[in-house]
Amino acid sequence: MTDPRRPPGASRPSGTDTGTDVDPGTGTAQPADTEAPPQTLVGGATRLYAVLGDPVTQVQSPGLLNPLFARLGIDAVLVPVHVRPADLATVVRGLQRVGNLDGLFVTVPHKAAAALLADRRSPTVEITGSANALRREPDGAWLAENFDGSGFVSGLGRAGHRPKGARVALVGAGGAGSAIAAALLDAGVTRLTITDPDTPRLTTLVDRLAAHWPGRVRAAGRPPLADSDIAVNATPLGLRPDDPLPFPPDALPPGAVVADIIMKPRDTRLLREATAQGLHTHHGHHMLTGQLDSYRAFFGLHAS
C-alpha cells in the first residue's frame, strides 16, 4: 500500500521493506516485528515553514500541517522554533531572508509583535492588531493574516455552538483574543464583554472593535458570567498545571458553554471544572482544525 506520508517517488528508508531491522550494536539484520514507521523525507528541494512561540512545546500545528503536506504530495516541512520576546524581531528578520522559507506561523506571545514585522497587513490584522500567519508574496514582501478568530468561530459552529445571538464573555485581549473578538462580532453575537488585566491594551482593542461593531462590545473589570451564554478563555492560563483559573465556571448559568483556546493540555483545569459543573465544554484543538482550510488557501497548499 502506498504510504500517504511519503512524497511521490521517494524511496523507503533502508531496512523497512525487507521485514528486518538492523541491530545498532552489531550491524546485523534482525527480524522485524512491525514495519518501521514511515518518515517524511527532507531534501535539498524541501520548502520550509516555521511556527514561532514562547513556549513552543505545546504547539499542535506541526502535527496537523506536516501530514497535510505529505498527503498533498508537497515537499515541505513545518518546524517549531522557540523564540523569546526580546529575540523575535531578530529571528523573524533572519527567517524572512531564508530563500526556501515560504511562511511563518505565530503563537503566544508573539501575535501582536509579529503583525508589526510584516510589510503588509490584511484588514483583519489591521482591526485586531495581531497576526498568526505571515506569507512571502511573489515580490518578496511579507503579508500578515490572522485566522484565529475565523478558526475559533468555525470550530464552535461545527461543535453545534452557534455564536449568533449569544451573550459572550471573553477573557483575554491579546493576539488570539483580539482575533476571536472580531470574529465573534462578525458572526453576530448580541453582546461581547472583554476583560484583561492590561487596561490600555483592553481599551485600545474595545475602541477599535466598537468602530466596526458599535453598541455590541464593551470592556469590564470582571466577566459577566451570570448572564453569559458562552465564556471563552483566550489567555495562556492553563498551559501550566499550577495556573489559576481565568474565571470561575461555577458562576455561569446551566447550559452555558465554556471554551478554552489552549490545545495542550487538551483538558485544562478550566474545562475539567466546567465539566464537573455540568456545563458544555469546547476544546482548544477545534480552533486549529477550524483554520486548516484557511491555511491551505492562504499558503496555496494544493495537491501536486
Question: What are the C-alpha distances in Å from 149 to residues 22, 188, 288?
Answer: 49, 13, 10
Stated as kind and residue range, the H or E segment containing 219 is strand 217-219
164 labelled catalytic: no
The three grid cell numbers given for residue 70, joined into one nine-digit string: 505529505
The contacts of residue 283 (CB under 8 Å, 6+ apart) are 260, 263, 266, 267, 271
- Give CA angle at 112 (108, 116), nearest 5°: 135
In 3D space, the residue among 265, 226, 267 whose CA is nearest the CA of residue 248 turns out to be 226
- The answer to whether the CB of 196 falls within 8 A of the CB of 218 is no
Rounded to whole angstroms, the Cα distance separating 108 from 130 reads 11
- The answer to whether the CB of 151 falls within 8 A of the CB of 291 is yes
Rounded to whole angstroms, the Cα distance separating 64 from 100 reads 21
Question: What are the C-alpha distances in Å from 282 to residues 92, 149, 170?
Answer: 33, 15, 14
Rounded to whole angstroms, the Cα distance separating 185 from 164 reads 9
Stated as kind and residue range, the H or E segment containing 143 is strand 142-145
The three grid cell numbers given for residue 202, joined into one nine-digit string: 483592553
One-letter amino acid identity for 260? Answer: D
**Residue 198 CA neighbour count, 13 Å, CB half:** 12
- The answer to whether the CB of 61 falls within 8 A of the CB of 51 is yes
From 111, 121, 135, 136, the catalytic residue? 111
**What amino acid positions are annotated as catalytic residues?**
111
